[in-house]
Amino acid sequence: MRTLREQGLETPLQQKRLVEAWPEVAGDLIKRYTLNTYIYNQTLYVRLSNPALRADLSMRREEFVQKLNAVVGEQVITDVRFC
């Protein structure tokens, strides 16, 4: 039986787990304003409906990168962008 890594499925699975962890890591307030999340080129993009929150969270990008990668147990993303 081939492993997920050999089949090229390990990274997409980890990315899915990381995106699904966003509401838990972000918390209820941020989750309420989150419209969409996706990963592209090792960057998690988080679309928010509140511009003031977007500016505040941009200063905490590194904190979110560390927490989200810790949930997955591996470095999946290197940055978070709020748009």
Q: Is the pLDDT of residue 83 over 90?
A: yes
Q: What is the pLDDT of residue 47?
A: 97
Q: Given pLDDT bands bounded at 50, 70 and 90, which one contains residue 11?
A: confident
- Kindly report, residue by residue over 13-59, the tens digit of the pLDDT: 899 999 999 999 999 999 999 999 999 999 999 999 999 999 999 99
Query: What is the DSSP-derived secondary structure letter of residue 34?
Result: E
Pick from 1, 43, 50: nearest CA to 19: 43
3-class DSSP assignment, residue 15:
helix
Q: Count H helices, E strands: the chain?
A: 4, 3
- 74 Cβ contact partners less than 8 Å away, ≥ 6 residues apart: 14
| pLDDT band for position 10 (cuts 50, 70, 90) | low
